[in-house]
């Protein structure tokens, strides 16, 4: 079983899956629906993916890589500018906005592929970067509002042109963060 990690059909399956996951939820989508959308049959999917779980995981991988890289970079920096960090977080989130939407609105379904602890870890690390390791409740709340609000803007203002959305979102998030 060679199953190349990249192929035309494999990619088309991932795209169809992501569309359906976004429309109706991860757990609510069956392999049959994905196959139907592409005019394929279920067994064809199993040629390209070992299991349903591998399909979901492969879909999330690009987001995982980008977010891990972003955090590693910022944690290595000697000093960080809050708006700058939020800006890079916005850019990664926008690049993977469909996946970020799943992460936000369908987390239990992604828990099936062991994603929950990872997501919580990201949020904790981002909060530490924004508020420091020993932040009190007030400072933590400010960081949480900034990060959570940013994610919500991507979902709820998805129709807005990126540049306008980026500035409005960062303004609001930085305001929540307050004077550093």
Partner DNA sequence: GTCTATAATGAGATAGAC
Partner DNA sequence: GTCTATCTCATTATAGAC
Q: Which parts of this chain interact with DNA (CB under 7 A)?
A: 2, 4, 7, 9, 30-33, 35, 39-44, 46-48, 50-53
Which option in DNA, a copy of itself, none does residue 132 bind, with CB closer than 5 to 8 A by kind?
A: none
Residue 150 as a binder of a copy of itself (CB under 8 A): the answer is yes
Task: Pick the binder of a copy of itself from 69, 72, 158, 175 (CB under 8 A).
Answer: 175
Structure tokens at 142: 């400010």
* Shortest CB 157 distance to a copy of itself, Å: 6
Closest CA to 164 of 154, 151, 152, 149: 154
Q: How many CB atoms lie within 10 A of CB 137?
A: 7
Distance CA 23, CA 45 (A): 20
Of 111, 114, 121, 132, the one binding a copy of itself by CB under 8 A: 111
Is 76 a residue that touches a copy of itself (CB under 8 A)? no
123 in contact with a copy of itself (CB under 8 A): yes
Q: Give Cβ neighbours of residue 149 (< 8 Å, ≥ 6 apart).
A: 169, 172, 173, 176
Show the site string, 8-27: x = touches a copy of itself by CB under 8 A, - = not: ----------------xxxx
- What is the total count of residues that contact a copy of itself (CB under 8 A)? 44
- Would you call 140 helix, strand, or coil by DSSP? helix
Indicate the residue among 33 and 140 with the shorter CB distance to DNA.
33
Residue of 12, 37, 83, 104 that binds a copy of itself (CB under 8 A): 104
Torsion angles phi and psi, residue 178, rounded to 5? 80, 180
Q: Site for a copy of itself (CB under 8 A): which residue of 107, 118, 125, 128?
A: 107
CA distance 63 to 129: 19
CA distance 168 to 20: 29
Choose the binding region for a copy of itself from 4-12, 53-61, 64-72, 140-148 (rule: CB under 8 A): 140-148
Residue in 170, 62, 107 with CA at minimum distance from that of residue 123:
107
């Amino acid at each position: 079983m060679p199953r190349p990690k990249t192929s035309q059909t494999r990619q088309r399956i991932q795209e169809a899956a992501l569309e359906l996951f976004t429309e109706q939820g991860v757990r609510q989508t069956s392999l049959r629906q994905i196959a139907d959308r592409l005019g394929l049959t279920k067994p064809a999917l199993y040629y390209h993916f070992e299991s349903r779980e591998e399909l979901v995981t492969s879909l999330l991988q690009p987001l995982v890589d980008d977010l891990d890289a972003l955090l590693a970079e910022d944690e290595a920096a000697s000093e960080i500018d809050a708006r700058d960090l939020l800006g890079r977080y916005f850019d990664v989130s926008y690049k993977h906005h469909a996946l970020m939407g799943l992460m936000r609105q369908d987390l239990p379904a992604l828990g099936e592929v062991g994603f929950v602890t990872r997501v919580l870890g990201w949020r904790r690390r981002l909060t530490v970067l924004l508020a420091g390791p020993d932040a009190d409740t007030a400072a933590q709340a400010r960081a949480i509002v900034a990060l959570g609000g940013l994610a919500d803007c991507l979902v709820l203002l998805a129709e807005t042109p990126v540049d306008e959305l980026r500035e409005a979102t960062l303004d609001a998030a930085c305001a929540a963060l307050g004077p550093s």
